[in-house]
């Protein structure tokens, strides 16, 4: 019954996408005065048909999508050029509108579905480049380690004592990484450390249990997980304020002052100039909060001495460090400027550090200035007390927060999301074709009807909103791929119309038909290759 529901949903989705596409061609052809001979639901042979006006409306045996048959479409018969209501005899502008109308309808469908989704509350559409920003903004909530989403009853994991929501963070005292996880998939024996409700539990899987034919596999269902870029502490000064506050060698820095950290560059930007740093670090299965009062010193340095100024005349130089003025310690350039202005009529005694030696200079300001440009030296213990390195941390995406907006904002965001996803789809498709041509490889992210059917099964069970989002993505994908300038696709037909516009004459119809036929054959071949790859992955 479960698979019958999936099959029905798959047929409905597939048919909806193609029917909407063909409806666009149909409506625009009617508006352009082109004769539409048949508008069919499904693919021939025909079950039933009724002629209304000049068009036959039919239902066909193969329940996938539909089609529009226009007079003179793809015709090589020269006489069609003389038939006023044939597609081939229509004006270039009208033919162009008919060709792109299907793509426009698929974009429109995706926009409507996304607007409904964002109004009701929907997980945002995330591409590979969107993941880290989504983590940084809190859209994706992570937990370090591999978290168990569910466990099959009567499985090995169930018998041993694992529970749903357990967080596996090490095996055989080694922190998990993707290589270790691949090894465990092939041979799951070892000592597992898991975190459950703040407590650590240890479970052991021995070879005899793995070899037991009663258990086909461990029976885990995990949350989505992958290796996220993070920063780890390689070493730390034990006499530093950072160590005494609680930071330790081997800690993974998750965030500083509520900013997610994905690289050393991120870390350096966040800590610079801060006097208090609130760290969230990951250590042995748990997160810890560490607050560090930064031991930093600041000194005023002369960046440049202006010509013919009191400072130049008295002998001050670039890179001199101002220690004090009139016995007052100086560590802020603005304070020094203010002090000089307030004592503009007095001779000021400057204590200057130069190349490790301290000298004294007496300077009388002119117009409240001594003629130097100032800067500040900042020495931060936070950058000298610890040594960091970039590393990967296996983490589970335990929650993706839904985006929900008023309908007018939902409609606006749906348009932006649709455009962004369309752009990403086009780039992925072009990359896939390039990979196939150069190396004969098909990316794991690329799928055909079998993959679509698999995802349909998943999203049908997740609910109506995830299913709407899935259909929206499919509709966008269909639109983007169709508009690409490849023979037999709408974009290929539009390309020939543009060539006709540039040349000022029609392309030879026979040659155009041959090229579209060749393109169609390549598309069928590509579909077969992708479908084969999908099936191979199912049994891998």
C-alpha pair distances (Å), 413 with each of 17, 103, 132:
22, 20, 20
pLDDT (0 to 100) of residue 105:
95
Radius of gyration for the alpha carbons in the chain, expressed in angstroms and rounded: 34
User: With the C-alpha atoms ordered 500, 503, 509, 511, is the resulting torsion angle positive or negative?
Assistant: negative
Whose CA is closest to 252, among 231, 226, 277?
231
Question: Which residue matches tokens 């990484």?
Answer: 177
pLDDT (0 to 100) of residue 431:
74
Backbone angles phi, psi at 169, to 5 degrees: -120, -10
Q: Is 281 exposed, middle or buried (0-12, 13-18, 19+ CB in 10 A)?
A: buried
Cβ proximity of 267 and 280 under 8 Å: no
Residue 361's SS3 state is strand
Question: Which residue matches tokens 């015709």?
Answer: 75
What CATH number should be reported for the domain whose range is 138-226? 2.30.42.10
Per-residue tens of pLDDT for the chain, all 540 residues: 566 777 788 888 888 888 899 999 999 999 999 999 999 988 888 899 899 989 999 988 887 778 898 988 766 677 777 788 888 888 999 999 999 999 999 999 999 999 999 999 998 888 778 888 999 988 999 999 889 998 888 788 888 889 999 998 888 888 877 777 777 777 788 888 888 888 889 988 887 776 654 555 678 888 888 889 999 999 988 888 889 899 999 999 999 999 999 999 999 888 877 778 999 999 988 899 999 887 666 788 998 899 999 999 999 998 899 999 998 888 888 889 999 999 989 999 999 998 888 899 999 999 889 999 988 776 556 666 788 999 989 899 999 898 899 999 999 999 988 888 888 888 777 777 677 667 666 666 566 666 777 777 677 777 888 888 889 988 998 899 889 888 888 888 899 889 988 888 888 878 888 888 888 888 788 777 777 776 776 665
Whose CA is closest to 209, among 221, 200, 196, 219?
219
Tell me how far apart the alpha carbons of residues 219 and 208 are, in angstroms, rounded to a whole number. 17
Looking at CATH, the fold of the domain delimited by 296-382 is given as: Pdz3 Domain (2.30.42)
Tell me how far apart the alpha carbons of residues 7 and 64 are, in angstroms, rounded to a whole number. 12
Residue 284's SS3 state is coil
Q: Range(s) for CATH 2.30.42.10 in the chain?
A: 138-226, 296-382
Whose CA is closest to 52, among 42, 63, 41, 37?
37
Q: Where are the alpha helices (DSSP H) in 232-271?
A: 241-245, 264-271
DSSP, residue by residue, 170-220 = EETTEE--HHHHHHHHH---EEEEEEETTEEEEEEE-HHHHH-TT-SS--E
Tell me how far apart the alpha carbons of residues 477 and 467 are, in angstroms, rounded to a whole number. 15
Joined together, the tokens standing for residue 477 give: 């994908």
Largest Cα–Cα distance in the chain? 106
Question: Beta-carbon neighbour count of residue 377 at 10 Å?
Answer: 12
Tell me how far apart the alpha carbons of residues 267 and 391 are, in angstroms, rounded to a whole number. 13
Q: Where are the alpha helices (DSSP H) in 440-463?
A: 449-462
Joined together, the tokens standing for residue 254 give: 């998750």
Contacts made by residues 473-478, CB under 8 angstroms, sequence distance 24+: 473/110, 473/125, 473/421, 474/13, 474/17, 475/17, 475/20, 475/106, 475/107, 475/109, 475/110, 475/113, 476/106, 476/107, 476/110, 476/418, 476/421, 476/422, 476/425, 477/425, 478/17, 478/18, 478/21, 478/106
Tell me how far apart the alpha carbons of residues 184 and 174 are, in angstroms, rounded to a whole number. 12
Tell me how far apart the alpha carbons of residues 536 and 519 are, in angstroms, rounded to a whole number. 26
C-alpha pair distances (Å), 305 with each of 156, 246, 312, 313, 318:
76, 45, 6, 10, 6
pLDDT (0 to 100) of residue 221:
86
Tell me how far apart the alpha carbons of residues 280 and 134 are, in angstroms, rounded to a whole number. 18
Joined together, the tokens standing for residue 419 give: 């455009």
Question: How far does Cα 345 stand from its chain's mean position?
Answer: 62
C-alpha pair distances (Å), 455 with each of 166, 311, 451:
26, 74, 6
Residue 77's SS3 state is coil
Question: Which residue matches tokens 């995706």?
Answer: 110
DSSP 8-state symbol, 507: P
pLDDT (0 to 100) of residue 324:
92
User: With the C-alpha atoms ordered 218, 223, 224, 227, is the resulting torsion angle positive or negative?
Assistant: negative
Tell me how far apart the alpha carbons of residues 459 and 324 are, in angstroms, rounded to a whole number. 70
Tell me how far apart the alpha carbons of residues 12 and 42 are, in angstroms, rounded to a whole number. 11
């Amino acid at each position: 019954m479960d698979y019958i529901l999936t099959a029905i949903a798959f047929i409905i989705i597939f048919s909806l996408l193609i029917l909407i596409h063909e409806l666009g061609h149909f409506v625009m052809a009617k508006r352009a005065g082109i004769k539409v001979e048949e508008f069919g639901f499904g693919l021939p042979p025909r079950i039933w048909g009724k002629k209304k006006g000049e068009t036959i409306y039919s239902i066909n045996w193969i329940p996938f999508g539909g089609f529009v048959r226009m007079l003179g479409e793809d015709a090589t018969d020269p006489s069609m050029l003389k038939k006023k209501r044939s597609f081939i005899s229509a004006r270039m502008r009208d033919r162009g509108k008919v060709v792109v109308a299907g793509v426009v309808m698929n974009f429109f469908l995706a926009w409507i579905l996304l607007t409904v989704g964002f109004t009701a509350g929907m997980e945002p559409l995330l591409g590979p480049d969107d993941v880290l920003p989504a983590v940084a903004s809190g859209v994706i909530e992570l937990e370090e380690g591999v978290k168990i989403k569910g466990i099959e009853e009567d499985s090995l994991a169930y018998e041993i004592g694992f529970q749903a929501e357990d967080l596996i963070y090490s095996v055989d005292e080694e922190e998990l990484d993707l290589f270790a996880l691949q090894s465990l998939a092939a041979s799951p024996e070892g000592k597992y450390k898991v975190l459950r409700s703040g407590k650590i539990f240890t479970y052991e899987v021995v070879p005899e249990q793995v070899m037991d034919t009663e258990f086909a596999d461990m029976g885990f269902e995990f949350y989505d997980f992958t290796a996220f870029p993070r920063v780890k502490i390689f070493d730390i000064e034990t006499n530093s304020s950072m160590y005494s506050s609680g930071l330790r060698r081997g800690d993974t820095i998750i965030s500083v002052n509520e900013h997610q950290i994905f690289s050393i560059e991120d870390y350096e930007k966040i800590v610079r100039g801060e006097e208090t740093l609130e760290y969230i670090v990951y250590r042995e299965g748990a997160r810890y909060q560490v607050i560090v009062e930064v031991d930093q010193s600041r000194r005023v340095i002369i960046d440049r001495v202006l010509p013919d100024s009191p400072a130049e005349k008295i002998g001050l130089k670039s890179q001199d460090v101002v220690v004090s003025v009139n016995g007052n310690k100086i560590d802020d350039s603005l304070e020094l400027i203010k002090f000089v202005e307030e004592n503009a009529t007095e001779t000021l005694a400057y204590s200057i550090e130069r190349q490790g030696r301290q000298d004294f200079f007496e300077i009388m300001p002119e117009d409240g200035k001594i003629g130097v440009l100032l800067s500040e030296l900042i020495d931060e213990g936070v950058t000298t007390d610890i040594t960091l390195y970039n590393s990967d941390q296996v983490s589970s995406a335990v929650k993706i927060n839904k985006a929900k907006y008023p309908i007018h904002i939902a409609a606006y965001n749906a348009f932006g999301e649709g455009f962004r996803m369309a752009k990403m789809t086009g780039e992925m498709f072009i990359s896939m074709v390039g990979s196939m041509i150069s190396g004969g490889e098909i990316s794991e992210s690329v799928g055909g009807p079998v993959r679509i059917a698999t995802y349909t099964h998943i999203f049908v069970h997740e609910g109506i909103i995830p299913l709407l989002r899935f259909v929206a993505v499919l509709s966008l994908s269909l639109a983007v791929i169709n508009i690409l300038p490849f023979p037999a696709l709408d974009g290929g037909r539009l390309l020939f119309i543009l060539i006709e516009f540039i040349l000022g004459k029609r392309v030879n119809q026979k040659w155009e038909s041959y090229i579209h036929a060749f393109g169609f054959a390549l598309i069928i071949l590509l579909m077969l290759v992708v479908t084969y790859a999908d099936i191979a992955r199912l049994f891998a």
